[in-house]
Amino acid sequence: MFRIVAISMFLWMLVLSGCAALLHKPEPPLVTLSAIKLHEMTLFEQRYQLQLRVQNPNDFDLPIDGLRCTLYINDREFAQGVGAGGVTVPRFGDALVPVDVVSNLQRVFEQLRTPGEASTKPVSYRLTGKLSVEGYPTALPFEYKGEFDLRDLRQPVN
């Protein structure tokens, strides 16, 4: 009888410790766009590689095992894609995560529709998506907004 009680108590402790781990939800990381590179271009589709900087505000490492994201430029969807992850973001640290995204010719033409106006105004972008963390059952959402000025690209570097 004592053995059954001891085994039951042990099993309950395991169940409760597992539930406690699930209740400790990670704080969503800050994900920003660090770089974008044209990877491959065909007539109908363009492939880019995004470098995303992931900052971990948690006091434990975040082992990223996958992510998906969508990049919007000037409030229009521009590209979307997925990344396999395989990067561990250290506690209170950051790491670069590469993600391949795909756009199509129509989306590029939509961005080039008003070239005169676009060259004098800053370009706004928005990055949205979800990060899958190893050992956690639900993905962590992220969203970041920013802008860049194309006129800065034409300035000579000192």
1 lies in a domain?
no
46 lies in a domain?
yes
The domain tally of the chain equals 1
6 lies in a domain?
no
**Which amino acid is residue 142, in one-letter code?**
F
| Per-residue pLDDT at 15 exceeds 60 | no
User: Would you say 31 and 127 are in contact if contact means Cβ atoms under 8 Å apart?
Assistant: yes
9 lies in a domain?
no
Tell me the per-residue pLDDT of 58-76, one tens digit each, with 9 for 90 and over: 999 999 999 999 999 989 9
| Per-residue pLDDT at 14 exceeds 60 | no
Q: Is the pTM of this model over 0.85?
A: no
32 lies in a domain?
yes
12 lies in a domain?
no
Tell me the per-residue pLDDT of 25-36, one tens digit each, with 9 for 90 and over: 789 999 999 999
CATH number of the structural domain spanning residue 45: 2.60.40.1820
pLDDT-based confidence at 140, cuts 50/70/90?
very high
| Best mean pLDDT range from 10-19, 37-46, 62-71, 146-155 | 62-71
48 lies in a domain?
yes
Measured from the Cβ of residue 101, the count of other Cβ atoms closer than 10 Å reads 21
The residue range of the domain holding 116 is 27-153
| Per-residue pLDDT at 128 exceeds 50 | yes
| Best mean pLDDT range from 41-45, 93-97, 119-123 | 93-97
